[in-house]
């Protein structure tokens, strides 16, 4: 053994005897490194838990149309803004009423869009009354299809209940809780009739072959959140006479704007179809040759509701129809 080797061995033995380690020292950790990363991870987890709790609270009260509306401290300002909007709307209505030209845009033969037809007062009243009825027995619920899939909306039917499983009308909500159907408010029916009169003035074909104006006895109220929508379908479950005569459907839009797709036939995959944007206060009427129009709500635009509207974010849609034309019933009496 050389002198150098002997010296190295001696040094190693001394280190062992003194308890010193020959392993490299662990790297020093920066206080802002792993510790900060752990803190950030914990914060993200806490944020996720808080978000889940918030969503759970929302779901527990998801039928309240006022949830998420402007807080109480903003109510006076919101009401003041609404009052100014009401006054402007009243002036606009007086101007429209003084004109002889019907107000309405024809989208298809027998399909008319009345832009901004509902006044702010009428919209807020419909929201208030829908909320009160929606929280009562027979109010809003989330329908489930026969397949078990949940509808992407909340629904309430008044006058008659539309069963999404049987696709038939009934007097009790047999597909959910057997609750009795609430009656259609007379003020709602009168507003639907007023809208229909304006649509007929713009295009008489919306009336179909009915000699008398529709007397609505059904209203289906749908509430869509920002992700709400429905697929292409035909409103075809009214009576055989109503469908044959082309008895119209009157649809109110309140709250967030939405895209409404429509077509005179079921479109093929990837086939383009016309789309119109429906905004708060718009009324859409379709009947006669467009009574069987294929349509869908394809998108809801968040943060597009009027600032003065006291309603939670989302879109409220009320569709009126007559199960059986009254003139047919009158002939049978």
Residues contributing to the annotated binding site? 233, 235, 295
Query: What is the rounded end-to-end Cα distance, in angstroms, of the chain?
Result: 127
Please name the residue ranges forming H helices in 61-163. 75-97, 120-134
Chain-centre distance of CA 297, in angstroms? 9
Instruction: Give the separation between CA 184 and CA 223, rounded to whole angstroms.
Output: 17
DSSP-based helix, strand, coil % in the chain, nearest 5 = 35, 20, 45
Measuring CA to CA, which residue among 255, 237, 62 is closest to residue 155?
62
CA 96 to chain centre: 30
**Smallest Cα–Cα separation from 120: which of 158, 80, 82, 168?**
82
Alpha-carbon Rg for the chain in angstroms:
31
Judge whether 165 and 146 are in contact, CB under 8 Å: yes
Q: Using an 8 Å Cβ cutoff, are 312 and 64 in contact?
A: yes
CA 85/CA 255 separation, integer angstroms:
15
Q: Where are the alpha helices (DSSP H) in 98-159?
A: 120-134
For the annotated binding site for Fe cation, the residues are: 233, 235, 295
Helices and strands of the chain, counted as H and E runs: 7, 13
């Amino acid at each position: 053994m050389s002198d150098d080797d002997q010296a190295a061995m001696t040094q190693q033995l001394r280190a062992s005897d003194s308890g010193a380690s020959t392993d490299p020292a662990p790297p020093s950790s920066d206080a802002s490194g792993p510790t900060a990363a752990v803190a950030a991870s914990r914060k993200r987890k806490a944020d996720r838990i808080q978000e889940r709790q918030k969503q759970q609270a929302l779901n527990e009260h998801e039928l309240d149309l006022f949830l998420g509306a402007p807080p109480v401290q903003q109510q006076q300002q919101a009401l003041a803004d609404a009052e100014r909007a009401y006054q402007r709307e009243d002036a606009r209505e007086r101007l429209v009423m003084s004109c002889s030209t019907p107000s309405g845009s024809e989208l298809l033969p027998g399909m008319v869009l009345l832009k901004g037809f509902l006044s702010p007062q009428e919209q807020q009243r419909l929201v208030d009354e829908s909320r009160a009825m929606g929280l009562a027995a027979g109010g809003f619920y989330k329908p489930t299809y026969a397949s078990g899939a949940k509808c992407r909306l909340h629904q309430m039917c008044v006058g008659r209940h539309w069963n999404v499983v049987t696709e038939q009308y009934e007097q009790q909500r047999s597909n959910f809780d057997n609750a009795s159907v609430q009656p259609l408010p007379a003020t709602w029916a009168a507003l639907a009739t007023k809208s229909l009169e304006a649509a007929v003035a713009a295009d008489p074909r919306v009336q179909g072959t009915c000699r008398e104006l529709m007397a609505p006895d059904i209203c289906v109220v749908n509430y869509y959140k920002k992700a709400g929508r429905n697929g292409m379908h035909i409103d075809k479950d009214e009576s055989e006479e109503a469908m044959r005569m082309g008895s119209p459907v009157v649809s109110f839009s309140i709250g967030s704007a939405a895209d409404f797709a429509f077509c005179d036939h079921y479109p093929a995959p990837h086939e383009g179809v016309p789309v119109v944007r429906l905004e708060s206060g718009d009324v859409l009427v379709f009947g006669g040759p467009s009574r069987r129009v294929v349509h869908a709500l394809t998108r809801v635009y968040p943060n597009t509701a009027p600032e003065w509207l006291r309603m939670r974010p989302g879109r409220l849609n009320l569709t009126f129809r007559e199960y059986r034309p009254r003139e047919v019933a009158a002939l049978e009496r």
